[in-house]
Structure 1
């Protein structure tokens, strides 16, 4: 059973390692005594509500005790990780780092690449993942169960898909935040009180996203429907579309995708 596996998170006191660990414990899928974390900062307060969680200062000691190793460090810190996973299942949360690079560094061909986003701490992350051919069905089931504790987990068929989704969903709140910033700046320039402007922008974006999710409609259909009303929103949408908003977004995603592939 997945719940009997000991999960070891290298970088467990960092943002993503902590989010995953807290989600696992909060969901009830794993008992605290079956979670290990290692951290450069040593024992902190990240898991203070679960004192049974063991924090180790030695990554190899964590790997030796764990059944599944989650690698949750910055890509630039990978070279400092010196462990031998002895063929154990390794789940990498690193961007810009291929399966081959992880396998070579960790000493295991049973590698899964996964890409979370910041909504993991709210358990609303989109968590795509890609597995090496050496990862069997039992491993896949365990990976899906583990990652789904943070939100929606989805296996993708190609490693390039994972790189692309690193640029798209891995951005988390970044793209909505950029849109929110533009809307908020305009509202302020129009003389709207700052508190009201912020409230209006956030409620519009959050409410709109929830409405799209609930309705289950294609976003393009929603845009066409709103344009067809021929009201104030239609005027704004037409101006943004004619101004090349879609092309600007595509250029940004292309640049992020290129970086995700190590280009």
Structure 2
């Protein structure tokens, strides 16, 4: 299948990650373009990936099959209103901006095929995970193109309902920060137990990495993996019971609900 021509509106970190992933997959540089207001950023991304860059958004999207909106949510409305007259009916619009609904994009761009995505920051290392939702105008071929695009930086999962984007935001979009918080806390606790800070940090980081790799590679779920490493009356059980006595599961649920609620609030505010 011929590679689609892709235009990125905004060439920040996430766009650069996607471009790098596409190039690593063998997508030719001639099939990728990007626009950005910053001359320094345009020069950087052109040098790193060998793609053409433009100062004007309208110049970047000419003849593109996919238009990736990768600007900050706060400027999305103005960018879309400026682009609306230049986007063709057959072009697929993919938004990776948090908090911008398909309805808002359709309001600013007119009725058209739109895929809304929620990637996360490990995409910078091509270890990300993204939730994708496509509106009714998205064709099977465009759906495949969007999946290929996001798969360039990790796992891409389709959602049945757009409102599930808020849950994706709570679980994986904001999720890396939760693990960073746990890493901070475990490192600090290890130091208080007498370990040098660097040693506590290395032990924590590599334990997190190893546990994640085990969970991904395993054919059983996390609860079973936890059971297998929790010996009765052992050290792990003592720690787990302490977590649970402190309301660990309820606290996690409360935190994710807060993130999902805030995601919905932002979508309403930014869509006005």
For the aligned pair, the TM-score class normalised by the smaller chain equals: over 0.9
Match of 1:259 among 257, 262, 265: 262
Q: Who is 1:192 aligned against?
A: 195
Aligned length: 259
Q: Who is 2:235 aligned against?
A: 232
Match of 1:31 among 20, 25, 28: 28
Q: Deviations over 1:108-134 (max 9, x none)?
A: 420000111111122221111000001
Q: Please, which runs of 5 or more residues in structure 2 have no aligned partner? A: 267-272
Q: Who is 1:40 aligned against?
A: 37
Q: CA deviation at 1:17?
A: 0.6
TM-score by length of 2: 0.90
Q: Who is 1:86 aligned against?
A: 88
SS in 1 for 2:225: helix
Would you say 1:171 and 2:168 are equivalent positions?
Answer: no
SS in 1 for 2:112: coil
Q: Deviations over 1:57-96 (max 9, x none)?
A: 1112222342210001121121331212233210000111
RMSD over equivalenced CA pairs, Å: 1.5
Alignment of 1:46-195 (within 5 A): 46-51=45-50, 53-81=51-79, 82-84=82-84, 85-87=87-89, 88-195=91-198
Q: Please, which runs of 5 or more residues in structure 1 have no aligned partner? A: none
Q: CA deviation at 1:161?
A: 1.4
- Compare 237-246 and 40-49 and name the one that shifted more: 40-49
Q: Who is 2:269 aligned against?
A: none
Distance 1:56 1:66 in 2: 14
Distance 1:26 1:172 in 2: 26
Q: Deviations over 1:89-108 (max 9, x none)?
A: 10000111110111222334
TM-score by length of 1: 0.93
Task: Please say if residues 118 and 172 of structure 1, whose CA atoms lie closer than 8 Å, have aligned partners that are also in contact.
Answer: no
Distance 1:257 1:216 in 2: 29
Match of 1:244 among 247, 254, 260: 247
Structure 1 segments, 4+ long, off by >4 Å, are none
Distance 2:71 2:219 in 1: 35
